[in-house]
Amino acid sequence: MKSRAVAGNVERATEFLHELQDVDWRRYGQSMRSRKELAEMRARLEREQGPRNPLKAGKGGYYDIDFAMMYLRLKGAGIFYKVLNTPERIDVIEKMGHLDREDADFLREAATFYRAVDHGQRVSTGHAEGSLPTSPAQFEVLTGLVKRWTPPHLHQQRLDATLREIRHRTREFFNRLFGSA
């Protein structure tokens, strides 16, 4: 799903990846097997990793967006991501007509927010944490960093409240796409 040519004959490698995408689509997208299998894979990640990494693997976490993009890419034959950046992948899916404007806008914003929290934690602590810091000082530093990288309207409430809201809406979208989990 995320393979890219990095060396050698880039043109031939890209051609091969397009062919591989067609095989993926015939095997998973066309049969709609991908919907069930991706939902099961996501549920397993949530069970196994969610408790220790709720921001990514927990209910409504970043992986809900990532799995939705994988499914929509398989569902829409001919979609080949030239970039791996999630907001740009969302743009491609929207332009192909597989996402309406409101969902696409929300998913871009949610992905940007999740990445801002992840990067903020890496900058402030040196590694990605599985959840928000409990120390008031660390929470304040993280909040300041996230505010630098996210739209102002996301700063109207505390960081943890914004996160809860985004997680809730992300899971609502995921459930609409995959069915209630």
Average pLDDT over residues 150-174: 96
pLDDT in the model for residue 80: 60
Neighbours of 16 (CB within 10 A): 13
CATH architecture of 10-178: Up-down Bundle (1.20)
Residue the block writes with tokens 């743009």: 91
Report CA 38 to chain centroid distance, whole Å.
Answer: 13
pLDDT in tens, 85-129: 889 889 988 988 889 999 999 999 999 999 999 999 999 888 887
Distance CA 34, CA 22 (A): 14
| Global pTM value | 0.82
Residue spans per domain, the chain: 10-178
To which H or E segment does residue 179 belong?
none
Element (H, E) at 158: none
pLDDT at 58 over 90: yes
Spatial CB neighbours of 108, under 8 Å, sequence gap ≥ 6: 86, 87, 90, 91
Q: Which two tokens stand for residue 24?
A: 């993926």
Largest distance between two CA atoms of the chain: 53
